[in-house]
Amino acid sequence: MQTSPRKVVGILIAAILISVGATIAASRLSPGPRTWNGDPALAQPGWRLAQPITYDNLTIFPVISPDDAYTSEFATLDEALASGDALVTEQGASMRRMRDGSVAPSFSISPQVNQLVLVNRGKRPLILLAGEVVSGGKQDRIIGKDRIVPVGAAPLPLDVFCVEHGRWTPGAEQFSAAQLMVHPSVREKAAVEQDQRQVWAAVRGDVSSVGGTSGSVTVESPAAAPRISTRALSNAIESAGTQSYQKIYESSPIGTSVETFAQEIQRRFERDTNGLKGEHVVGVVVAFGREVAWSDIFASSELFDSYWPKLLRSYVVEAMTRPAVRRVASLDDARDFLRPATGHIEEESEPGIYRWRKQSEGRLAEIELDALAPKPLTLHWLRVLHGD
């Protein structure tokens, strides 16, 4: 019995419809991998900005990414100093072994204000970020520039900046992890300007903040936070005598005020970023009042989590020395701040270890720290709005 051509066509169409229907049903039951496009207006593919978190005059915009690089093969300065994997001493110090087996420095030449010596004795490359505080020696110092210190490297002459203009007296022979980051007004002078006098001026509070950005929005003022003025911070530093920067930072009422403010921001941050699925918080964009002025973004949520407590407190100190305002930066302002950079480029590198890259455009400066091994990876991305 022969089947007519019409019936054959009908059977084929029915088979195709059944197959298509089954495919659609299967896709609904078992969706394929999601495509993450991020925000194409931002500097890096895949990034997007979450809704802002505001308290008083500080606004934090979380930076979200589907990518979460493996960064456990790197050590931070704080953890390496705490474990003894890193050793920082004054310039001119050499190591000698004591009778009890411990190692202590002895000095062959005079210590230098703007240079320390670092030895990485650990098994992982060491990440250093500009603005990190190390405590001890003849005065506390801050790291001068982002860089990576490889495993097994010779003792490294480390460029630093002094943050205690009035002290040059013996302290602990070996520097310890202060677990502090200087506030942005000071950190910018180290990371971008690379100028000791400007660092000292910023520590004293001799730095004026600039006006706001366009596109700001008005919000109801949240509960008033404890505040410190620039003069109060400056007076505390000037009257501290031989106290270290760390003790000034933690002193009352400044330390108490900072912690109260930071805890409130942290509570709101956790509430608003809890429950992300398939995405990770890898950094933040920071606004003071209506001025978007800073960003710290990392290759992984693990690195961000490691630095976040001291970064947050540095932002809080900055916010508390700026005027309270009722206008805050908008999401569009933050998005504009993270647009792809153009402008003059400077680069430094250590072959096979890391590359440091700064790009400047008007009052914007962008700094990238790239690891070159074991695979190319941007570990830290900083953008700052700096002074005129």
pLDDT per residue over 149-167, tens digit each?
A: 999 999 999 999 988 766 6
The percentage of the chain sitting over the pLDDT mark of 70, rounded to a whole number, equals: 70
204 Ramachandran zone, left/alpha/beta (phi>0; psi -120 to 50): alpha
Q: What is the mean pLDDT of residues 272-281?
A: 91
pLDDT tens for residues 304-334? Answer: 999 999 999 999 989 988 877 778 899 999 9
Q: What is the mean pLDDT of residues 128-148?
A: 91
Residue 214 clears pLDDT 50, i.e. is over it: no
Q: Which range marks the domain in which residue 299 is found?
A: 48-97+104-337+345-385
- Kindly state whether residue 31 falls inside one of the protein's structural domains: no
CA distance 291 to 309: 22
Domain count, the chain: 1
Q: What is the mean pLDDT of residues 112-117?
A: 87
What confidence tier does 213 reach under pLDDT thresholds 50, 70, 90? very low
pLDDT tens for residues 332-358? Answer: 999 999 988 888 999 999 999 999 999
CA distance 231 to 237: 10
Higher pLDDT pick, 178 / 108: 178
In terms of Cα–Cα distance, which of 177, 167, 165, 118 is closest to 145?
A: 118
Tokens of 184: 């942005």
Amino acid, res. 266: Q
Residue 301 to residues 66, 137, 169, 175, 280, Cα–Cα distance (Å) = 10, 33, 39, 28, 6
User: Residue 248 has what pLDDT?
Assistant: 67
User: Residue 201 has what pLDDT?
Assistant: 86
What confidence tier does 22 reach under pLDDT thresholds 50, 70, 90? very low
Average pLDDT, the chain: 80
- Kindly state whether residue 91 falls inside one of the protein's structural domains: yes
CA distance 339 to 252: 40
What confidence tier does 215 reach under pLDDT thresholds 50, 70, 90? very low
Q: Which of 20-24, 123-127, 225-229 has the lowest mean pLDDT?
A: 20-24
Q: What is the mean pLDDT of residues 293-304?
A: 97
- Kindly state whether residue 309 falls inside one of the protein's structural domains: yes
Amino acid, res. 257: S
What confidence tier does 249 reach under pLDDT thresholds 50, 70, 90? low
- Kindly state whether residue 42 falls inside one of the protein's structural domains: no
- Kindly state whether residue 38 falls inside one of the protein's structural domains: no
Residue 176 clears pLDDT 50, i.e. is over it: yes
pLDDT tens for residues 35-76? Answer: 345 576 777 788 999 999 999 999 999 999 999 999 999 999
- Max distance between CA atoms of the chain, in angstroms, equals 109
Residue 118 clears pLDDT 80, i.e. is over it: yes
- Kindly state whether residue 67 falls inside one of the protein's structural domains: yes
Amino acid, res. 25: A
User: Residue 113 has what pLDDT?
Assistant: 80
Query: Residue 57 burial (CB < 10 Å; 0-12/13-18/19+)?
Result: buried
Question: Could you tell me the pTM of the whole model?
Answer: 0.80
CA distance 57 to 7: 75
Contacts of 266 (CB under 8 A, 6+ apart): 312
- Kindly state whether residue 24 falls inside one of the protein's structural domains: no
Q: What is the mean pLDDT of residues 127-146?
A: 91
Tokens of 251: 């002193």
Half-sphere exposure of 130 (CA within 13 A, CB side): 27
User: Residue 46 has what pLDDT?
Assistant: 84
Residue 232 clears pLDDT 70, i.e. is over it: no
CA torsion sign for 364, 292, 245, 76 is: negative
